């Protein structure tokens, strides 16, 4: 499985309140959530995001609330992958559970700039910055989590 796209770059501690503000949590509609994704820190995100694009951020991405609406909004915006130095733990779980690939790679997260073209090989964990030619090695998912993703999310993996 691979992803390839243009990068939206953010800094430390991007919290779930800016990923999807609570004022929009009166709906579970994926399309409605996507329409407001990141709007409190990046008004242009919704206008510019193209299917396949990638979010890169530094430490503690997705901190704050447990709202699954946050990874849902990102995924429904067409984002194919989030790369960060570290993720907040509930966001990490939620992303895997809904089948949105995320990778921890501090070097890539620091280096890669907004607008760069990046490709990701999820099987090997190799991240390639096509703009600069540089490659980075992230840890691929452990088998336990690969199983959840391969089955299309947590609920499919526990379904009898």
Query: Which is closer to other proteins, CB of 55 or CB of 118?
Result: 55
Stretch that binds other proteins, among 10-18, 47-55, 106-114, 116-124 (CB under 8 A): 10-18
Under the binding rule (CB under 8 A), the answer on residue 31 touching other proteins is no
Contact string 41-60 vs other proteins (x = CB under 8 A): x-----------------xx
By CB under 8 A, tell whether 110 contacts other proteins: no
Within residues 60-89, the interface with other proteins by CB under 8 A covers: 60, 63-69, 71-72, 86, 88-89
Contact status: 11 vs other proteins (CB under 8 A): no
* Lookup: tokens for 4: 């390839």
**Residue partners of 80: CB distance under 8 A and separation at least 6:** 3, 4, 5, 51, 52, 53, 54, 101, 120
Q: Which residues have CB under 8 Å from 116's CB, separation 6+?
A: 6, 7, 129, 130, 131, 132
Q: What are phi and psi of 100, to 5 degrees?
A: -105, 115
CA 90/CA 19 separation, integer angstroms: 14
- Which residues of this protein are in contact with other proteins, per CB under 8 A? 13, 15, 17-18, 21-23, 25-28, 40-41, 59-60, 63-69, 71-72, 86, 88-90, 93-94, 97-98, 142, 144, 153-156, 158-159
């Amino acid at each position: 499985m691979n992803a390839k796209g243009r990068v939206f770059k953010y800094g430390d501690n991007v919290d779930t309140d800016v990923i999807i503000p609570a004022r929009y949590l009166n709906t579970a509609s994926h399309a409605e959530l996507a329409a407001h994704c990141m709007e409190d820190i990046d008004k242009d995100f919704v206008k510019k995001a193209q299917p396949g694009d990638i979010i890169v951020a530094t430490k503690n991405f997705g901190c704050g609330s447990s709202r699954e609406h946050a990874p849902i909004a990102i995924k429904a915006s067409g984002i194919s992958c989030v790369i960060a130095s570290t993720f907040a733990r509930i966001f990490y779980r939620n992303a895997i559970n809904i089948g949105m690939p995320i990778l921890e790679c501090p070097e890539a997260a620091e280096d890669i700039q907004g607008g760069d073209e990046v490709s990701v090989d999820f099987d090997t964990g190799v991240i390639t910055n096509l703009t600069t030619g540089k490659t980075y090695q992230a840890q691929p998912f452990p088998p336990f989590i690969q199983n959840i993703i391969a089955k299309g999310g947590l609920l499919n993996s526990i379904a009898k």
